[in-house]
A and B are shown apart, each in its own frame.
Chain A
Amino acid sequence: MQYQGHRFMLYKRWDYAPHGRTKEQQEALDAGQALFKAANFEHWASQPELVECIQTFLVRAVPSYRPSPYGNRPRDVINALCWEVRNGAALIVRAKPAYIAHSGFAPALTEDERYRRYRREMADMAERGAIFEARTKWYQQELAEYHQLVEDAERAARPPQVFRHIETIAEAAVRNRAAWAARDAFAALASTAASVVASALPSMDHEVFDLGNVSEVGTGSTPLGDAAPFEYFRSATGDDVLSAAARGVGEELNADCFYEYESAMRTCDNLAHLMGGARGYALCKQNAFEDYQTCRGF
């Protein structure tokens, strides 16, 4: 029973503080009596849940109570309770705010109510879980995208360096060969066969030279074109410089960052709600995200 913010409970007379009452218990009892005196029984009878509660109590507490002889109409149930309260067999007691009924006589909540509350809590938990999961998924996705971005940027940045390295060797070889050829050319020039040798010189345009043609003059047996092609690829552990820098951020700090980020997003949502403005909202969220990335060390 819930009245004026208080919960009231029904007790069998001998179940409630049979060995003398404390002041508090007496007050609770007085409050119950006052409630009973002021009660509008029509109103009580109009609440099916209350009636059901009372009937449960009567069935369990009063051995002589039989639902059918008294009639099953709500008003009959209330009348039966009134009878028991007036003759002192049943007590109405104001419950302490967090009181839990020690016996089944005054169920704090009916099974149905308890079940419904349980369902509500479970639904709430499930909802929170779903939100958390969605957020985590989004977060992971966003992180993966970011890693992809970094990877692409790396790939875009590194290969030229690698190729430049090959070029340097090749160029050296070409230069070497050119030098030999030039010497030969001089020799050929000396022997008046200059034009023939000059046309055999490899192209010096290193944008287009063919690696297969380049061989180190001197040994002459290790053409670079035979070397196994190699390419730069990221190590599986990802502990290259860029991601190592990003990973220098501790888990704790990450959590703090995420908390700040959430709070910032909440601010944006709130402002969007009250102030409006799609552009402002988008910029606010972007701002929040950038702060988040900065915080995490990206």
Chain B
Amino acid sequence: MSPRKPKSVVLSYSQDNEAINIQTIDAMAIAGLDATKLTYPVFLEEHKHNLDDEFARKLGASILTTLAISYPMLEPYIKITRQPKSD
């Protein structure tokens, strides 16, 4: 059952309990936020609308490393394979 209002997913890291928090928030609230929001659109078309394991892996890796830019203490825990840029 989907919520009545569309939600966005927000990832944050809390240093106190060393947890990556996955939060959902009103999509409208984010759109209306007057703050610096860096957006990197991942176009499904460029992935042939094929959201498979590999896509999930890339997405996960992207999110983790992006989080680690703000929280360098995460860096040593990240053990993902960093593929050489293919495209």
Contact = CB atoms under 8 A, between A and B. Distances in A.
B40 A271 contact: yes
B69 interface: yes
A275 B41 contact: no
Nearest to B35: A291
Given A280-B43, A283-B39, A288-B38, A263 B69 contact: yes
Nearest to A286: B39
A266 to B, nearest CB: 6
A267 to B, nearest CB: 6
Interface in A229-276: 260, 263-264, 266-268, 270-276
B1 interface: no
A48 interface: no
Contacts of B36: 260, 264, 291, 294-295
A295 B40 CA distance: 19
Contacts of B37: 287
A125 to B, nearest CB: 23
B59 A270 contact: no
B67 to A, nearest CB: 10
Q: Classify chain A: how many residues form its interface, as a range.
A: 20 to 34
A280 B40 contact: yes
A279 interface: yes
Chain A at the B interface: SS class:
helix
A228 interface: no
A50 interface: no
A284 B41 CA distance: 7
A283 B58 contact: no
A24 to B, nearest CB: 30
Contacts of A283: 39-41
A267 B46 contact: no
B9 interface: no
B49 interface: no
Contacts of A266: 69
B40 A275 contact: yes
B42 interface: yes
Interface string B46-63: 110000000000110110
Task: Output the residue of B36, B58, B59 with the most chain A CB within 10 A.
Answer: B36
B62 A271 contact: yes
A157 B4 CA distance: 48
Contact of A270 (B47, B62, B83, B86): B62
A193 B72 CA distance: 95
Contact of B38 (A272, A279, A291): A291
Nearest to A260: B36
A207 B81 CA distance: 71
Contacts of A276: 46, 58, 86-87
B5 interface: no
Given A274-B65, A287-B38, A291-B36, 14 more contacts: A267-B66, A271-B66, A274-B61, A274-B82, A274-B83, A275-B59, A277-B47, A280-B40, A280-B42, A283-B40, A283-B41, A284-B41, A287-B40, A291-B38
